[in-house]
């Protein structure tokens, strides 16, 4: 059935697209490991309450974007729209709340029902880290520094800018909430219906609104700086000091917010102007109340997530594919020793494949077509002498190499 296509908002990762995606994830995994993060893999779907409870009933994701369905047993399940809630659920479910700190890296697909556009899909992929346990400003700076090092290693740090803000401590946010309620109440005639719903329940979420009329009102809203306690101000200053020590450049943006109650202190985004409207490539913050919302104790935590698709799009050049070696047997008698050579090459870590069919000319044409760097040719005379003809396809030079030494010669 040739009319079958990928579902809207999804895509196949093949060739260069897959190489780019894998390179992003592998690079992030490697850098995160140097910071002491271990990889966790949580289920792709969870009990719906994991996300409804942690992302907020008034959030766009919960209200409009989650893929939620009943299973045959009548339980409500949801394809994960993000990774943090699942990691915190796993921390509680596996009894790890007394084994802190936990430094977690994850990578994998997420799902949101939203309008597909450049760099944004309904099935998308994220990398992320969560540092669970430490409540000190150094933890905030360390996770940001890890993200910066990943962007640097990918060669895209120069195209991004780190913006940071503080959401303060609970006392600061309570005072700020009152100020927002007063301001938005004065302007409620111009607010969207979604923002009117949030005004009573969670006014900070109005600051995240994408509605154009809301954005014009939000532009005049008070910022949190005037409502920070002395302790919150000191925490924020310390984060900035640590970032400077780590060598991570940043600028302050008082409009970065996280509207959920468990967020506090540091909020940050790495943004770019190279991807049009989809400017955020990595974002995160401190979420000291999330584990408690999932039934665990009150545990501080901080982390970030980044879109693999967007990072892959930022990369100027795709990672190179290792050029293979092609083994070319000539005649039936050459096939068995050719297989021995083929496996010796693979055991040496050399990407290798067999030229299965056709005459010598056709097999060599295919070797050139797939970008092979060398061909190992075995004819009857070569086998009798226990050698193979190793041809460098870039230079055209050819050498007779003992069969036992072919892998070492090409390593």
The 10s digit of each residue's pLDDT in 285-343 is: 999 989 999 999 999 999 999 999 999 999 988 788 889 999 999 988 888 999 999 99
More confident residue, 117 or 325: 325
More confident residue, 205 or 227: 227
Same domain, 142 and 105: yes
Same domain, 252 and 367: no
Confidence of residue 58 (pLDDT cuts 50, 70, 90): very low
Question: Is position 28 within any domain?
Answer: yes
Same domain, 273 and 299: yes
Confidence of residue 140 (pLDDT cuts 50, 70, 90): very high
Residue located via tokens 């936990």: 102
pLDDT of residue 62: 60
Question: Is position 99 within any domain?
Answer: yes
Same domain, 260 and 402: no
pLDDT of residue 332: 85
The CATH number that applies at residue 54 is 3.30.930.10
Q: Look over the chain and give the mean of its residue pLDDT values, rounded to a whole number.
A: 92
Same domain, 281 and 369: no
Question: Is position 57 within any domain?
Answer: yes
Confidence of residue 46 (pLDDT cuts 50, 70, 90): very high
Same domain, 130 and 253: yes
Average pLDDT of the residues in 148-174: 96
pLDDT of residue 319: 80
The rounded Cα 288 to chain-centroid distance in angstroms is 22
Question: Is position 200 within any domain?
Answer: no
Confidence of residue 250 (pLDDT cuts 50, 70, 90): very high
Same domain, 38 and 156: yes
Same domain, 295 and 359: no
Same domain, 42 and 134: yes
260, 283, 314: which is the final residue of a domain? 314
The CATH number that applies at residue 381 is 3.40.50.800
- Residue 268 and residue 256: Cα distance in Å, rounded? 7
**Span 265-289, pLDDT tens digits:** 999 999 998 887 668 999 999 999 8
Give the per-residue SS3 of the chain: CCCCCCCCCCCCCCCHHHHHHHHHHHHHHHHHHHCCCEECCCCCEEEHHHHHHHHCCCCHHHHHHCCEEECCCCCEEEECCCCHHHHHHHHHHCCCCCCCCEEEEEEEEEECCCCCECCECCEEEEEEEEEECCCCHHHHHHHHHHHHHHHHHHCCHHHCEEEEEECCCHHHHHHHHHHHHHHHHHCHHHCCHHHHHHHHHCHHHHHHCCCHHHHHHHCCCCCHHHHCCHHHHHHHHHHHHHHHHHCCCCEECCCCCCCCCCCEEEEEEEECCCCCCCCEEEEEEECCCHHHHCCCCCCCEEEEEEEHHHHHHHCCCCCCCCCCEEEEECCHHHHHHHHHHHHHHHHCCCCEEECCCCCHHHHHHHHHHCCCCEEEEECHHHHHCCEEEEEECCCCCEEEEEHHHHHHHHC
Average pLDDT of the residues in 56-76: 78
**Percent residues over pLDDT 70 in the chain:** 95
pLDDT of residue 70: 95
Instruction: With a cut of 60, say whether residue 16 has pLDDT above it.
Output: yes
Same domain, 287 and 340: no
Question: Is position 204 within any domain?
Answer: no
Same domain, 298 and 331: no
Q: Provide the 10 A C-beta neighbour count for residue 343.
A: 13
Range of the domain at 40: 16-169+229-314
Average pLDDT of the residues in 141-153: 98
Question: Is position 10 within any domain?
Answer: no
283, 314, 345: which is the final residue of a domain? 314
**Where is average pLDDT lowest: 39-43, 91-95, 367-371, 393-397?**
367-371
Same domain, 291 and 336: no
Which residues are 374's β-sheet partners?
A: 325, 392
The first and second tokens of residue 136, run together, are 């000190």
Question: Is position 139 within any domain?
Answer: yes
Domain count, the chain: 2
Cα angle for residues 348, 351, 356 (degrees, 5° grid): 115
**Where is average pLDDT lowest: 173-177, 185-189, 354-358?**
354-358
Average pLDDT of the residues in 67-93: 95
Question: Is position 184 within any domain?
Answer: no
Confidence of residue 97 (pLDDT cuts 50, 70, 90): very high
Instruction: With a cut of 50, say whether residue 397 has pLDDT above it.
Output: yes
- Which pTM was predicted? 0.88
């Amino acid at each position: 059935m040739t009319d079958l296509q990928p579902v809207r908002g999804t895509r196949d990762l093949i060739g260069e697209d897959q190489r780019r995606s894998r390179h992003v994830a592998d690079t992030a995994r490697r850098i995160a490991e140097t910071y002491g993060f271990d990889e966790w893999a949580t289920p792709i779907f969870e009990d719906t309450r994991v996300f409804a409870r942690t992302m907020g009933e008034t959030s766009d994701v919960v209200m409009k974007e989650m893929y939620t369905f009943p299973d045959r047993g009548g339980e409500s399940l949801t394809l994960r729209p993000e990774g943090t809630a699942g990691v915190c659920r796993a921390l509680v479910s596996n009894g790890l709340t007394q084994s802190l700190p936990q430094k977690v890296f994850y990578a994998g697909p997420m799902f949101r029902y939203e309008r597909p556009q450049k760099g944004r899909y309904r099935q998308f992929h994220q990398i992320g880290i969560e540092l669970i346990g430490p409540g000190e400003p150094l933890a905030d700076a360390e996770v940001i520094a890890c993200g910066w090092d990943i962007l640097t290693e990918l060669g895209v740090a120069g195209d991004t800018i780190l913006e940071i803000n503080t959401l303060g401590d609970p006392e600061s946010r309570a005072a700020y909430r009152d100020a927002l309620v007063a301001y938005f109440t004065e302007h409620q005639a111009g607010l969207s219906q979604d923002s009117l719903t949030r005004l009573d329940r969670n006014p900070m979420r109005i600051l995240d609104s994408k509605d154009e009329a809301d954005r014009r009102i939000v532009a005049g809203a008070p910022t949190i700086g005037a409502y920070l306690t002395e302790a919150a101000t000191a925490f924020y200053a310390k984060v900035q000091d640590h970032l400077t020590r780590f060598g991570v450049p940043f600028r302050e943006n008082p409009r970065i917010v996280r509207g959920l109650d468990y967020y506090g202190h540091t909020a940050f985004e790495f943004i770019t102007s190279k991807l049009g409207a989809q400017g955020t490539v990595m974002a995160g913050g401190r979420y000291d109340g999330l584990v408690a919302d999932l039934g665990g104790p009150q545990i501080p935590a901080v982390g970030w997530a980044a879109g693999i698709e967007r990072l892959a799009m930022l990369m100027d050049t795709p990672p190179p594919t290792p050029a293979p070696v092609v083994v070319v047997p000539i005649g039936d008698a050459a096939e068995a020793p050719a297989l021995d050579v083929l496996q010796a090459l693979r055991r040496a870590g050399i990407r290798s494949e067999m030229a299965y069919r056709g005459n010598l000319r056709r097999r060599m044409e295919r070797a050139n077509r797939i970008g092979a760097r060398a061909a190992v040719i075995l004819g009857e005379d070569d086998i009798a002498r226990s050698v193979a003809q190793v041809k460098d396809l870039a230079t055209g030079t050819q050498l007779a190499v003992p069969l036992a030494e072919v892998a070492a010669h090409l390593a």
